[in-house]
A and B are shown apart, each in its own frame.
Chain A
Amino acid sequence: MNALIALIAVLPLFLIGVYGILARRHFIRIIISVEIAMSAVILTIGTFATVTSSFGEVLGVLVIIIIALEAALGLAIAIEMDRTYKSVDILEIRKLKEETQ
């Protein structure tokens, strides 16, 4: 199978993920978007791994672990936001910040 098709096919997934990171307001929704974009990256790495060598799969595993760690930290930050500031809405926080000025 032609790997270029596989590479192009995952791009909509990456688009949705990056769009979600940039546009969404709920902090947990941003982390979900990260997971979506990460899936596109992993699919790309998997495709390249099957083209070249097993090393790609090592690379993919390490990327999965790093982004899982990042998600864990992000969710901790979300809980802290909810507890201390009673909101996980990014725009609302911005609004509150401007009010305090």
Chain B
Amino acid sequence: MDLAVDTNTIIYILAIAWATIFSFLAIKTKDVLYSAVFLVGMYVSAAWALIQIDAWFLALIYLFVNAGGVLVLIIFAAMLTRPTIDIPPTRRISLAALINSSLVVLLIAILLLISRAQLTTSFTSNFSAIIQFLFSNYGISLLILSVAVLSIYLGAIYVASEEK
């Protein structure tokens, strides 16, 4: 396996490192509102990493949907529910969770590392190609997506509404 490191790679890893630090802080802080703030940092650095590998379309949508939509929802929900302070998990639970999640990630890492595939990033976002995919045969995905959005509208409004 050839692990040649160029400037692009270093910047990418830097961005991912920032995202990891922010996400660690978002998990570790006591107050959920603060962790929402750290989530912004995570979103921005992850989008930076996506732009670094030339997937700017994905980066854009990612920022719009998450930093624009989901984050606002999270902050609202965190302010509506009291208390916002999270009690840290007990040692036993956190150890079990750590072992489980590490097993998943280790499996992924090992199988990725021992593969003989040569993957080099070489592609830039191409708007017309994306549109071509989305509006040809895969247009059927918009049908099923509309059902999903409909069920979320019905469901979320129903769940969050007051019981009479």
Instruction: Specify whether A and B are partners.
Output: yes
CA separation between A39 and B117, bound complex, in Å?
Answer: 24
Q: Provide the A56-68 mask, 1 if CB < 8 A to any CB of B, else 0.
A: 0110111011101
Within 8 A of B (CB), among A72-90: 72-73, 75-84, 88-89
Query: CA separation between A52 and B26, bound complex, in Å?
Result: 33
Q: Report which of A24, A64, A82 forms a contact with B27, defined as CB distance below 8 A.
A: A24
**Is the CB of A51 closer than 8 A to any CB of chain B?**
yes
Minimum CB–CB distance from B12 to chain A (whole Å) comes to 6
Q: Are B70 and A68 in touch, CB under 8 angstroms? A: yes
Also in contact, A16 and B24, with CB within 8 A (given A11-B105, A50-B53): yes
Instruction: Classify the interface of chain B: helix, strand, loop or mixed.
Output: helix
A-B contact number at CB 8 A: 244
A13: which of B16, B89, B102, B134 is its contact (CB, 8 Å)?
Answer: B16
Taking the nearest CB of chain A, how far is it from the CB of B81, in angstroms?
4
Is the pair A46, B105 in contact by a Cβ cutoff of 8 Å?
Answer: no
Cβ of B143 within 8 Å of any chain A Cβ, yes or no, is no
Which residues of B24-45 have CB atoms within 8 Å of chain A's CB atoms? 24, 26-27, 32, 35-36, 39, 42-43
Contacts of A36 in B (CB 8 A): 23, 26-27, 39, 42
Residue of A nearest to B43 (CB): A39
Interfacial chain B residues near A46, Cβ < 8 Å: 50, 53, 55, 58-59
A53 to B125, CA, bound (A): 9
Identify which of A31, A42, A77 contacts B58 (C-beta below 8 A). Answer: A42
Residue on B with the closest CB to A23?
B97
Which residues does chain B contribute within 8 Å of A14, judged by CB atoms? 104-105, 108
Q: Given A11-B105, A62-B141, are A47 and B121 also a contact pair (CB < 8 Å)?
A: yes
A-B contact pairs, 16 of them (CB 8 A): A4-B119, A6-B53, A7-B119, A15-B102, A16-B24, A23-B98, A24-B27, A26-B32, A28-B32, A36-B23, A43-B16, A43-B49, A50-B124, A54-B133, A60-B62, A71-B70
